[in-house]
Amino acid sequence: MQHDRATQSQINGAKSSGPTTDEGRRKCANSSMKHGMYSSRVVLDNEDPAIYHALREAFLQIWNPTDAFEYECVIAMVNARWKFRRLEAAETAEMNFTMAEKRPEWDACDASTEHALALRTIGKHLDILARYQEQQHRTVQRNFNMLSKYRKKSNLPIPTCDEMARAESEAFQKTPESQEGPEPKPSASTKQPSILKKVALLFVILLLMPVQTTVHKKRAALASGPERSTIEPICLLV
């Protein structure tokens, strides 16, 4: 029995039970995610939750919220600053990716010209990122103003913008990514000289061997011969 397209779609949809594992459900939930600005989860899968927790604890420490309203305002500022930094990183990655992709098509250009060509190529994408950045900035400013007005009624201290900036900077410096790691190990190219270097070194040694032999002979003559004054001075290689 044949059905129309709408009825057949309903029948096919009823046969599908969707993902059955937690991993499958998580991937399905993220299938349409593009930039994560409106995601209910603040920390994305490829971001470090430890950095977010450090930022959140830094803001909670300087504000020390006294009730649920203050706590929600602080968390809103933390989330907005987190997303703002994500957008800054995305903007830099967008520029680097475009320059690396288009560099073979461009002639040899200086850095400023490459930047201009990249902006001409992805200017619309950067405008979208800038608009999202402005939204997050307004979120921080709005919650800061609400908290300041709310705390003035109770004569509670209000952290300054400079204190918030320093707390955020210190939070990111305390994270493992920003700590200075072990010294990088020398690569194979630095451990062993290249073939060209070996050939050049061997060539120099072969050139110096006759000179060194002549020098040793004349030194021996100076040491053993009686007529030292008749031997011409020699410029020895150091």
Q: Does the pTM of the predicted model rise above 0.85?
A: no
186 or 56: which carries more pLDDT confidence?
A: 56
pLDDT tier, 102 (very low <50, low <70, confident <90, very high otherwise) = confident
Asked which of 65-69, 96-100, 142-146, 228-232 is least confident by mean pLDDT, the reply is 228-232
pLDDT tier, 233 (very low <50, low <70, confident <90, very high otherwise) = very low
- pLDDT of 5 > 60? The answer is yes
Each domain of the chain, given as residue ranges in start order, spans 38-179, 194-230
Q: What is the average per-residue pLDDT within 107-124?
A: 86
pLDDT tier, 204 (very low <50, low <70, confident <90, very high otherwise) = low
Query: CA-CA distance, 66 to 74, in Å (whole number)?
Result: 11
Query: CA-CA distance, 168 to 159, in Å (whole number)?
Result: 13
> Which residue reads 């700590």 in tokens?
179
